[in-house]
A = this chain, B = another copy of it.
Amino acid sequence: MSLTDSAAVDVARSASLASRRLAILPNAARNEALTALHHALDTNREIILAANAKDLEIATRAAESGSLNHSVLKRLDLSRPGKYDDMLDGILSVRDLDDPIGKVSLRTLLDDGLTLERISCPIGVLLIIFEARPEVIANIAALAIKSGNAAILKGGKESMESFAAIAKVVSEAIASSQVPVSSIQLVKTRDAVSSLLAQDSLIDLVIPRGSNELVRFVKDNTKIPVLGHADGLCSAYIHADADIDTAVKVIVDSKTDYPAACNSLECLLVHEDTLDSVFPAVATALLDKGVSLRCDAASRSALAKTLPAEKVAQIQLATETDYNTEFLDLVLAVKTIPSSGSRTSAVEAAIAHINAHSSKHTDLILTQSQEAANMFTSGIDSAGVFWNASTRFADGMRFGFGTEVGISTNKIHSRGPVGLEGLTIYKYLIRGNGHGAADYHDGVGGRKYLHTKLPTGQ
């Protein structure tokens, strides 16, 4: 589908209309559509993998000529062992989650026969823009249908053939169900993005899944709320009383488990008192894993005392830029937090550095002190605040959400790993019996509100 502005309006309007019909479908009807989707993707596996092979062929040539990153190639490949089955399983696990719609989170008796309820409902129309990963289509389609939202999906050029093949299968599967066909629409061409981003009266939420550049482009070019994160600049702070084994284990995992992930560690703050104890052990473990350290003067001097000279020679001095950089690689910036003043003032200094430099994704403290941990977790302005556990746990699957739409560094609506719940909002439902507000005006109406809290039944 090639999109002009008017075509984008048509896509968005049909999605909006579909979303209203989808909003009144019961959970069973939404689940049936997911079963049909699963079956269709299973049945058409060979066709889809053949299309994916074409994408891979083009991408491999591009990677060989240096015009495409090798990691894109890996993300594009649906034929890797287990990947296709994981995609299929994901649909069923979303299907089997509790219905996120119709949940009552507040119920108040306003007066006899006048009841207020706050009930979860779909947001409306989602626009999902992604790059290489073709399995995102199945994943997002499942989450959107389960949560009663219509979704417009826009794929990247690298996955064009896979996308077209999956799109055809998805559309046919949905057509066989009660879910309106326009609930899931797949658009391809490049110029579609700006036209779609302009539909702020019809599209309720944009979710970009891809590079930092993609997310920034989307945020800079739309008035529609954007859910996601551009950067994942995660920091760890080793407090004066940190346990050495815990620190080594957690820091090494945070930095080296998967350096290209947004929840990997990029900056390490070390309390001055640990420079000759905990820090050298952590640094040695990191260097052994091939991590390049970019240290400030104090932390580098501390390592110079304990490490062999050839290792110290490899340690670069950090620049200010390093503390604002998401390396996404085996590189870590290190900064010393002075011990001057009380121990709590060191925690405050660490909090101040992190709040000024981090991307509000996930930050970590290593300490044995409940007080220091409490200060850190309430003072840090990030979606995830972790105590003695790896930043790599910041993930919807690991959190037990089943699957995730993405990780949000927004300050409103949804923060951190966003699952089904983040695709819902609520409405206020009042049931009355001919009640008017004039009857309650002080001194005029005479009636008083009861405002009795009722059980929500959940």
Contact = CB atoms under 8 A, between A and B. Distances in A.
A375 interface: yes
B381 A250 contact: no
Q: A219, A384, A417, A435: which has the most chain B beta carbons within 10 Å?
A: A435
A6 B88 CA distance: 53
Contacts of A19: 381
Given A386-B432, A389-B431, A415-B426, A438 B257 contact: yes
Interface string A395-422: 1001110000000001111011100000
Interface in A351-371: 351-352, 355
Interface residues of A, number: 74
Interface stretch (A116-124, A152-160, A266-274): A116-124
Given A388-B431, A429-B385, A429-B386, A400 B437 contact: no
A114 interface: yes
Given A351-B20, A434-B246, A437-B398, A427 B385 contact: yes
Nearest to A453: B400
A427 B389 contact: no
A428 interface: yes
Given A23-B378, A390-B436, A110 B430 contact: no
Interface in A181-229: 204-205, 219, 223, 225
A425 interface: yes
A430 B384 contact: yes
Given A381-B20, A435-B250, A412 B110 contact: no
Interface string A343-354: 000000001100
Main secondary structure of the interface of A (DSSP, over half): mixed
Contacts of A108: 399-400
A24 interface: yes
Contacts of A411: 123-124, 204-205, 225, 425
A332 interface: no
Interface in A230-270: 243, 245-246, 249-250, 252-254, 257
A433 interface: yes
Nearest to A261: B437
11 contacts: A250-B435, A254-B436, A373-B431, A384-B430, A386-B429, A387-B432, A389-B435, A400-B449, A400-B451, A412-B425, A417-B428
